[in-house]
Structure 1
Amino acid sequence: MPMRPTPLPPAAAARLSVAPMMDWTDRHCRHLHRLMSRHTLLYTEMVTAAAVVHGDRARLLAYGEAEHPVALQLGGSDPALLAEATRIACDMGYDEVNLNCGCPSDRVQSGRFGAILMTEPDLVAACVAAMRDAATVPVTVKCRIGVDDQDPATVLPDFLQRVSAAGVDRFTIHARKAWLQGLSPKENRDIPPLDYDLVHAMKARFPDLHLSINGGVDSLDAVQAHLAAGLGGVMVGRAAYHDPAAILLDADARIFGDGAPGDAIAVVHAMLPYIDDHIAQGGRLGQVTRHMLGLFQGRPGARMWRRHLSEHAHKDGAGCAVVLDALGHVTELAA
């Protein structure tokens, strides 16, 4: 088997990244995405620093070597706890550790982390300083443009100034406010208006920072437009999950200038050894195939692909034969 090329450093891979998404970007999802793009930077789901330090870290932080470059996203606001979690992440071989300053859920607010940290830039600075002291890999921050009644044009540059002074030079900015009262986490992903212009203005104001933009980006054309306008990277969330072929299959060729466009059918076949191994270790087929439902979005046979997997992947004894049967609906119509 040929050796896999050395992964890009995370700052280079961050030209395109897949957002950390709770219940979605687990290790099975990341393995699928890595088969579609060798270079795109992949993020874990957010894990709290307390869970890393005190919980079942072997389960929480498990990943496959094929996933590199891969970043761990941490939630928390205790500098000492975040430092210890960062040290553990580095020991486990993660390529980057990212601090979540953007999640608006009630549970996150009650723990004094996530988007509410936009109101405490000095605390964020103390956290990342402690993380950097413990780290052997880059420490980065994902944030919003502001929360609630804050004025983003004032708050965001102040936040970037204070936190970058603590040594962070890479930020991913979700170009929406988070409303901590009155909107659900789902609504916070859609209802607050996007302000791409403000994020681009921050790049002009802080030219030495590597800024990635996040929020509402749903095509490689949009990714290329943001990069051409001077941003260091683009993070794609739901579009990369629901229609991964549209975002990731051509990413290496179009975003990184390396290789030819991929093929979704070939990706399915490449997943089969991984699925066999997962099942051999006691896993279930549906734990993997739930992330594959969108592979053929918009293609003939896509509905039958999704339906077959949804109806059969959860059954006892389900394995690769179920995947190949589902794939038959796609290949028959393609032929």
Structure 2
Amino acid sequence: MAATQEHDVIPRRLEHADTLELPVTGGGPFDFLHTVWKPSHYATGLEAHTATRSWRIFRVGDLVTGVRLHAEDRLVIAEVYTDGDYKPSHREHLARRLTASYGLDEDLSQFTELAAAVPQMREPFQALSGMRQSCPEDHFEIAVVALLLQNVTIARTTQMTRNLLTHHGWLVRFDGVTLRAWFTPAELAHVSTETLKEQDRLGYRAKTLPYFADFSHDHPAEELQAADDLEQTFQQIKGVGPYTAAIMASHASRDPATFGLDVWNRKILARRLLDADDAAPETVTRCLNELFPGHAGTVGLYVVEHAYLNTPVAPLLDPDGIDAWNEALERPAT
């Protein structure tokens, strides 16, 4: 088994480099907390959230970049940290990515009108009004997350994510917080299938992950954003089926009409919209599209996040608990 690399043990320290002020230009209400923090999302170590602050690591070109976010009304302020040569091109790239990652320019007005007219949506909409889809991951990163979510429990997904990020990513510290950073497709290129299976304990996913890296290398983000049928495009990757492709399309490419239905989400939506313990995927999808044409993905997001709101998978951090968070991430992997 390969030894843990030194940069995974000693945090890479980032210094303050910039402040970005990002206006929420999209119509409809805006809820900062539930835009950056989703109750259903499992703990990855890539981000940390309190009730008023959010910390996240981004790969921006050749840089590892840390961002601390907070909001003042409809203005999101991003404090930027890095240890590399931060150039105007990085600034422009990061501003675009943050705006897209949190849907700051997306119009929720039509969805708001649709949701207000459907009684089953009253509770989710009142609790989460203004929440936007969040996907800080790029196409490659969200593809990895979707792969790790296939056919397993959250505990198993969390374990595999930690293994990958510990062995092949970076440990980073900035603004008093320790986080993990993604590996790039190029950084994963030298990792063997055997290592992914034995060291990282990915099981059958060890054979699929290299295909994701190759696909991301051959298909730039700009090309994917311009694709007419992203779900079909993503299914060109060996090992990617409709569910994984739908997650990739609805999140990284921000398609509000697309939603990845797994067995758990299907049951949550069946209970909320159909008053049934479960329903066939086709029935749930048809209901979403009939009630919310063009916004099935947004409705799915609201219903699922509302179901986890009182029992989140990864609760918000108490500001007094950040030291314990840091210690847990910096503890060497066994």
What TM-score do you get using the length of structure 1 for normalisation? 0.27
